[in-house]
Amino acid sequence: MQPKKTPIAGGPSMTSAHMPSGVHRRARVHTILEHPHPALTRPSVDCDPLDPEIVELTNTLITTMRGMPRCVGLSAVQVGMNVRLFCIDVTGHNKARSCAGLVALANPRILEASGNVVMREGCASIPDFLGDVARAETVVVAGLVPGSAREMVIYADAIEARCMLHEIDHLDGVLFVDRVLDPAAELHTRRRYS
């Protein structure tokens, strides 16, 4: 089946807010690895969400994500750690429907994925390009909260679903340019926001 180019309508809606436990204020913004850094194509390994280094890495990810305009997600590999950990926050994004607020998950698993929608996508590790990528429209993702190891299950759609799939791809060493439908036609030079 051909993916449809369906614009996702609707504004942001706050349904809940999750602040990962164990998050501290003193974390530093980290440099982002950029393609073609070899770590970005290396699969990441599971981590212990109770390990203080993982909790600190979560803080660094969140601080780094928030330090970049329009950044809605970041994975640990992008700051040089090949462990299965990411954070997202689509709060206020104009294409968000579901919105769990700030979420950090270790060892995420995709429990369900359905639908197929094409949207333009970018990545902090490939700062100069955007491309059209087909992904599931709705997902159910489970993972462990850093600092507590509590299991969290996120039901997401629209940009929040896409964002988690993009980050989980990073944990498997896959970049969005690997999924761009027609790289020659579909890569677009990106406007710099900062």
Binding stretches for Zn ion (CB under 5 A): 123
Would you say 105 and 86 are in contact if contact means Cβ atoms under 8 Å apart? Answer: yes
- In terms of Cβ atoms closer than 10 Å to its own Cβ (0-12, 13-18, 19+), residue 170 is buried
User: What distance in Å separates the CA atoms of residue 58 and residue 116, rounded to the nearest whole number?
Assistant: 30
**Is 167 one of the annotated active-site residues of the chain?**
yes
Give Cβ neighbours of residue 181 (< 8 Å, ≥ 6 apart): 3, 118, 131, 132, 133, 134
Give me the least distance between CB of 117 and Zn ion, in Å please. Answer: 18
| Closest residue to Zn ion in the complex (CB) | 123
For Zn ion, the closer CB: 157 or 169 = 169
Q: How far is CA 119 from CA 24, 30, 113, in A?
A: 34, 28, 16
Give me the least distance between CB of 193 and Zn ion, in Å please. Answer: 15
Sign of CA dihedral 90, 91, 92, 96: positive
For Zn ion, the closer CB: 76 or 147 = 76
By three-state DSSP, how is residue 101 classified? coil
User: What distance in Å separates the CA atoms of residue 61 and residue 100, rounded to the nearest whole number?
Assistant: 17
Give me the least distance between CB of 75 and Zn ion, in Å please. Answer: 7
For Zn ion, the closer CB: 22 or 86 = 86
For Zn ion, the closer CB: 123 or 171 = 123
Give me the least distance between CB of 176 and Zn ion, in Å please. Answer: 6
Which of these is catalytic: 56, 151, 167, 186? 167
Q: Catalytic site residues? A: 167
